[in-house]
Chains A and B, each alone.
Chain A
Amino acid sequence: AQKITQTQPGMFVQEKEAVTLDCTYDTSDQSYGLFWYKQPSSGEMIFLIYQGSYDEQNATEGRYSLNFQKARKSANLVISASQLGDSAMYFCAMSNTNAGKSTFGDGTTLTVKP
């Protein structure tokens, strides 16, 4: 069974500063994918970044980077230069490569202060 743990229910960050959202996972699979999604108040799930279990380099997508530490089973999301529009709920998710279905963490609500 797969499990995703996000220990920060809520986070605050000052505009233009960087913030790290924590995510740890547990799985017995060797091949898996880790995802981060942003969910604004509208409800849509916005894909942010992906890390494959065999990827040796940390994924980056613009202001988003994923700090992947496989031995520690952690996949933290780093948002640099926070913007007011970054205020949303953020979900870490894991997907088994074969089954495809995802397991989601409980989410972290990020609030960016002006």
Chain B
Amino acid sequence: GAVVSQHPSRVICKSGTSVKIECRSLDFQATTMFWYRQFPKQSLMLMATSNEGSKATYEQGVEKDKFLINHASLTLSTLTVTSAHPEDSSFYICSARRGLAGASWQYFGPGTRLTVT
């Protein structure tokens, strides 16, 4: 089966610093990756769609200057939370879409728990 990894799994950072989260598709090429945010006991909220070689598409209400997304290769997308604040503390999950248009499957990473102190 398709495997998606995320690194780190947990990170604690101080307010004002930036933190980078990596999402890798280990055994397939992903032209599209998605970044979600999840608060405790709540649903997954799509933050942005990351396409390899082009700018990410952000959902309404998501600050693109705060959540920088880079999809430099077919197997790696990164989410950088810039100038993090305690309210950015959350569970961040990425997923990778396998195949081209017409395929709706996504494979999820294990998630990254970010705590900003």
Are A106 and B43 touching (Cβ within 8 A)? Answer: yes
In the complex, which residue of chain A has the Cβ closest to the Cβ of B111?
Answer: A43
B43/A100 in contact, CB under 8 A: no
Q: Which of these, B105, B106, B108, contacts A44 with CB under 8 Å?
A: B108
Residues of B at under 8 Å CB distance from A?
Answer: 32, 34, 38, 41-44, 46, 49, 91, 93, 95, 97, 101-108, 110-111, 113
Complex Cα–Cα for A50 and B38 (A): 22
Q: Are B104 and A100 in contact (CB under 8 A)?
A: yes
Q: Which of chain A's residues have a CB closer than 8 A to the CB of B95?
A: 45, 102
A102 CB contact (under 8 Å) in B46, B101, B102, B103: B46
Chain A contact residues, majority secondary structure: strand
Nearest neighbor of A34 in chain B, beta-carbon distance: B104
Instruction: Give the docked Cα–Cα distance between A101 and B93 (Å).
Output: 13
Q: Which residues of B contact A98 (CB under 8 A)?
A: 101-102
Contact A100 B103 (CB under 8 A): yes
Query: What residue in chain B is nearest A93 (Cβ atoms)?
Result: B44
Cross-interface CB contact of A101 among B34, B41, B91, B107, cutoff 8 Å: B34
> Which listed residue, B38, B41, B91, B106, touches A100 by the CB 8 Å rule?
B106
Q: A43-B110, A96-B104 are in contact. Are A101 and B46 (CB under 8 A)?
A: yes
- On chain B, the residues within 8 Å of A43 by CB distance are 38, 91, 93, 110-111, 113
Query: Is B108 within 8 A of A45, CB to CB?
Result: yes
Inter-chain CA distance A33–B108, complex, in Å, is 16
Report B91 CB to chain A, min CB distance, Å: 6
Task: List the B residue with the shortest CB-CB distance to A32.
Answer: B104
Residue ID in chain B nearest A103 by CB atoms: B46
Question: Is B93 within 8 A of A45, CB to CB?
Answer: yes
Residues of A within 8 A of B34 (CB): 100-102
Cβ-closest 5 pairs across A and B: A95-B104, A45-B108, A33-B104, A43-B111, A44-B110
Report Cα–Cα, A102/B97, bound state, in Å.
Answer: 11
